[in-house]
Chains A and B, each alone.
Chain A
């Protein structure tokens, strides 16, 4: 997928996070050597075209010096407009930083990022919440991928392996083994992810053996709460980007549609959501490692 990316779309609402993301955008453009479109969707009922155009022209002004850069202003509802623009461009990487922090509860908020991650069949890069206004790590030769469960497939890991091989980086596979307690019974109904440390290790080894041999791979595993351990394990890797599957990137919510998975809120990094490529089947063989998984599934 990395080699297929020819076009970067940087969707912006001029938030602080969009400004924080500029160094990362510049690095993407430099690494992938592809054209850049800076996209802004404005509400024509609230703002004049002229004003929106002026803001767009001055945002990320240094991009005027990039070889292939264009600015695009669309009117309408942001999710629909961005999706409409990107839907038929399979060679595109969408960069979508979060909005400004409100510091207040937003009970009726619908996440634009989650809507687009769920809807678009292209990789989407965003930022963890805590990195808004904070400089991102500048280390470029470490990359992490979060391995959640077998149902999510290995597309993002393969993507990461190819990216790591191409950029001579180390790929760190992060897996958090769920705690085993009375609630674990429900876990096995929802997922075939291994519960024991040994099974998890065997599963991770099997994943490692199946992907790009050229990439340097390191495994990071711990048992406990994923919200608490994921930021710690990620920080230990020294990586500046976390690859996640689309299934893990957002989770459905009963009333308001999908939301960005809260486990990534404390991860100080760029987060790249990769969709499941149809030709690559989800990882199986767990039954051979632990007969309990086969029974549960």
Chain B
């Protein structure tokens, strides 16, 4: 996610320069043919450029709105994930009763919180098509991670593990049915968040929304110099290229934000958000009123800061 108050030109330029260069050559050709060789037939002065530009703007606005809708939904879903994770952490730590301390065995409530942390990391990696296992090995341990390797959908497998741990707690009498039901509602909320994120990831913007504006921008940019050459003469390339650049930049930008889980600068900052979840839940565990005889190893973690104005 971009947290700068401006978008550097160098972020747009590499994707726009080829189209602009071709247009500039065409604009110069048109200007020279009209002004130097006096082939006035090339001018399309009657072309209604302003209404065309307005129609094109409407198309671009539709696409930008649709793309922004996807981006914002992705961000909202991760906001919900943070809230649900905090709520679950609180429920795990306060609703599950004490159990007899066994040597080398972690209490179920702490195991549940660690699985919740692992879920956030696993969902991020699942959406970015990245392996989560090096991180999970640190959070859950090698043995639990090895069990998860057999699953294609690791976040769903972690939710299943949490469900199994709750069943175990219920069978040991550490939690009654009412509390189990309350916690399970939040687990269903997590499954819904995962499903919604997968929907955004796997369903592209409708091709009509994506393709048509691009074609129309190109058509407009090619027609523009023919329409303005009679008025501007040799200055046509300057005006035409500037106007073309604004449309091409708008076209590129709206396309970039349409895929919020692609590990680019326009991404939902899932690394920072999953780090927030981990820090919050570890803090809850650390300040638990029923501390462990052996503290859980805590990696050196800090909030993720923007790098060059971009936070991932």
Contacts and interface: CB of A to CB of B under 8 A. Distances in A.
Contact of B137 (A61, A62, A67): A67
Nearest to A138: B129
A61 B272 contact: yes
A102 B304 contact: no
A19 B264 contact: yes
A103 B252 CA distance: 15
B275 interface: yes
Interface string A1-44: 00000000000001010011011001101100000000000000
Find the residue from A27, A101, A135 having the highest chain B CB count within 10 A.
A135
Find the residue from A20, A26, A66 having the highest chain B CB count within 10 A.
A26
Interface in B252-300: 262-265, 271-272, 274-275, 299-300
B308 interface: yes
B211 interface: no
Interface stretch (B10-18, B75-83, B192-200, B220-228): B10-18
A142 to B, nearest CB: 16
A93 to B, nearest CB: 15
A55 B301 CA distance: 15
Contacts of B15: 103
Contacts of A102: 10, 13-14
Interface of A is mostly: helix
Interface in A89-146: 100-104, 133, 135, 138
A57 B271 contact: no
B14 A103 contact: yes
Contact of B263 (A30, A65, A135): A135
B10 A100 contact: yes
Nearest to A140: B131
Given A16-B264, A19-B264, A67 B138 contact: yes
B305 interface: yes
Contact of B308 (A14, A104, A138): A14
A55 B14 contact: no
B299 A65 contact: yes
A67 B137 CA distance: 8
B304 A61 contact: yes
Interface in B71-119: none
A125 B160 CA distance: 37
Contact of B133 (A19, A30, A54, A100): A30
B180 to A, nearest CB: 30
Find the residue from A16, A20, A100 having the highest chain B CB count within 10 A.
A16
B308 A30 contact: no
Contacts of A100: 10, 14
A215 B133 CA distance: 26
Find the residue from B125, B131, B274 having the highest chain A CB count within 10 A.
B131
Contacts of A67: 134, 137-138
Given A14-B307, A65-B299, A101 B133 contact: no
Contacts of B307: 14, 55, 58-59
A54 B15 CA distance: 29
Interface in A227-244: none
A27 B299 contact: no
B270 to A, nearest CB: 10
Contact of A58 (B10, B265, B274, B306): B306
Given A61-B275, A61-B304, A133-B264, A19 B135 contact: no
A104 B10 CA distance: 10
Contact of A19 (B129, B134, B138, B312): B312
A64 B299 CA distance: 7
B167 interface: no
Nearest to A29: B134
Contacts of A23: 128-131, 263
A65 B135 contact: yes
A84 B138 CA distance: 31
A58 B308 CA distance: 10
Nearest to B300: A64
B147 interface: no
Contact of A66 (B128, B138, B263): B138
A10 to B, nearest CB: 13
B311 to A, nearest CB: 8
B248 interface: no
Contacts of A22: 130, 263
Nearest to A15: B308
B136 to A, nearest CB: 9
Given A26-B130, A102-B10, A135-B263, A58 B305 contact: yes
29 contacts: A16-B265, A19-B263, A19-B264, A23-B129, A23-B130, A26-B125, A27-B131, A30-B134, A57-B302, A58-B304, A58-B307, A59-B307, A61-B271, A61-B304, A62-B121, A62-B274, A64-B300, A64-B301, A65-B138, A65-B299, A66-B138, A67-B137, A67-B138, A100-B14, A103-B14, A103-B15, A103-B17, A104-B13, A135-B263
The 5 closest A-B pairs by CB, nearest first: A103-B14, A23-B130, A101-B14, A58-B305, A103-B17
Given A23-B130, A133-B264, 18 more contacts: A19-B312, A20-B263, A20-B264, A27-B131, A30-B131, A54-B305, A55-B307, A57-B302, A58-B306, A58-B307, A59-B307, A64-B299, A64-B300, A65-B121, A65-B138, A65-B139, A67-B137, A104-B17
